[in-house]
Amino acid sequence: MNILFLVLNKTEYLDDILDTFVEVGVKGATILDSQGMGSAMASADRNAPFFGALRHLMDNSRPYNKTIFTVIEDEKILDEVVQAVKEILGDMKEPGVGLMFTLPIGKVYGMRD
């Protein structure tokens, strides 16, 4: 059993990703509004030169993102979800796309079959 986290900077793909989750058998997910550290620091009222440069770099980026997480019991479904998200988002190493990772989990309480 694993938990999959996806920090989605390209929020215009949220519906496509959720549709894919349903298609491959993901039973539910939680979606949080989130903001990256660089964006938060750049938007803060700071006078140091570093923050001015950071603010300049962040001008065209998305200030907010979505963090999606879901518990996936079946390894096959997990692999399908990861592959589908990669196909939707393209090269996740490109700046501003997002970050996806999984973690093994032991016990889950409150999850229905």
CB within 8 Å of 90: residues ≥ 6 apart: 97
DSSP designation for 59: T
Specify the DSSP class assigned to residue 112. Answer: -
Q: CB atoms < 10 A from the CB of 104, how many?
A: 7
Residue 43 has what pLDDT?
A: 66
pLDDT of residue 52: 53
Domain edges within the chain: 2-35+64-104
This prediction has a pTM of: 0.81
pLDDT of residue 73: 93
Looking at this protein, which amino acid is placed at residue 47?
A: N
CATH code of the domain occupying 2-35+64-104: 3.30.70.120
Tell me the pLDDT tens digit for each residue of 44-84: 665 655 555 544 444 445 578 999 999 999 999 999 999 99
pLDDT 10s digits, 78-101: 999 999 999 999 999 988 899 999
| Tens-place pLDDT, residues 7-26 | 999 999 999 999 999 999 99
Residues near 18 by Cβ (< 8 Å), separated by ≥ 6? 29, 68
